[in-house]
Amino acid sequence: MNFRLIAVFAAGLLGVSGAHAAGDAAKGATIATTVCVACHAADGNSVMAANPKLAGQHPEYIMKQLKEFKAGKRANPVMGPMASTLSDEDVANLAAYFGAQAPKGGSAKTNGPGSLGEKVYKGGVAGKGVPACAACHGANGAGIPVQFPRVAGQHAEYVTNQLKAFRSGERANGPMMNTIAGKMSDQEIAAVADYIQGLK
């Protein structure tokens, strides 16, 4: 698989550039600590496993997701209404704020070195045509700004839920992930999600 082509494709999907990601983190902090705090925590390090950690996430990725929640392209009964109240300026400010926060890592429960989770993350599943997660999200899960999100330390429950949503087509705002997750078993998804939770 040509990962340079994947990167170009993903950049096109994002439809944003670094120039559009500039926001006012101080203004974003006001929104985060009054609106987002209940689910994502004030600093974006959610303690609820069903809700994603946003701290340290690439601002462009946060902007993309919020705009797609707002437009209904990414369906979610909680985030759709929440995002609908945000202006483009609010979105940019939140992205700047959460992107500037220090992420707090997690730990894998059972998928450490030599595990199925590590094998899927670093090497994919060759027999199924599943590429290594590391090819796009980086060996340590830091992602690639603008193109691919940070996944390191993300809650395993959230990652599992999102991969299953991609697999079923319930989440349809990432065609490449729909294809990849569509080839993964429940066991592979759970293992790689646990491994991701332990990445630093």
Q: What is the pLDDT of residues 125-182, one digit of tens each?
A: 999 999 999 999 999 999 999 899 999 999 999 999 999 999 999 999 999 999 999 9
Q: Which domain holds residue 93?
A: 15-100
- This prediction's pTM: 0.89
What local confidence, expressed as pLDDT, does residue 22 receive? 85
In a domain? residue 155: yes
Question: Does 90 lie in the same domain as 129?
Answer: no
The CATH code of the domain that includes 192 is: 1.10.760.10
% of the chain exceeding 70 in pLDDT = 90
Helices (H), 17-138: 25-31, 37-40, 59-71, 79-84, 88-100, 116-123, 134-137
**CB-count burial class (<10 Å; 0-12, 13-18, 19+) for 37:** middle
Is residue 103 scored above 70 in pLDDT? yes
In a domain? residue 2: no
The average pLDDT across 31-44 equals 97
What local confidence, expressed as pLDDT, does residue 21 receive? 57
The average pLDDT across 1-26 equals 51
What amino acid is encoded at 176 in this protein? Answer: M
Domain end, chosen from 68, 100, 132, is at 100
Angle at which helix 59-71 crosses helix 88-100, to 10 degrees, equals: 140
The average pLDDT across 33-52 equals 97
Question: Does 92 lie in the same domain as 38?
Answer: yes
In a domain? residue 81: yes
Question: Does 96 lie in the same domain as 60?
Answer: yes
Is residue 20 scored above 80 in pLDDT? no
What is the average pLDDT score of the chain?
A: 91
- Give the length of the chain: 200
In a domain? residue 82: yes
* 8 A C-beta contact, residue 76 and residue 7: no
What local confidence, expressed as pLDDT, does residue 6 receive? 43
Domain end, chosen from 42, 73, 100, is at 100
Total number of domains constituting the chain: 2
Which residues are within 8 A (CB) of 190 and not within 5 positions of it... i.e. 6 or more apart?
156, 160
What local confidence, expressed as pLDDT, does residue 110 receive? 97
% of the chain exceeding 90 in pLDDT = 88
In a domain? residue 8: no
Question: Does 92 lie in the same domain as 23?
Answer: yes
Q: What is the DSSP string of 134-191?
A: HHHH-TTS--BTTTB---TT--HHHHHHHHHHHHHTSS-S-HHHHHHHTT--HHHHHH
Closest CA to 47 of 190, 155, 161: 155
R_g of the chain computed on alpha carbons? 16
- Three-state secondary structure call for residue 130: strand
Is residue 92 scored above 60 in pLDDT? yes
21 versus 8: the higher-pLDDT residue is: 21
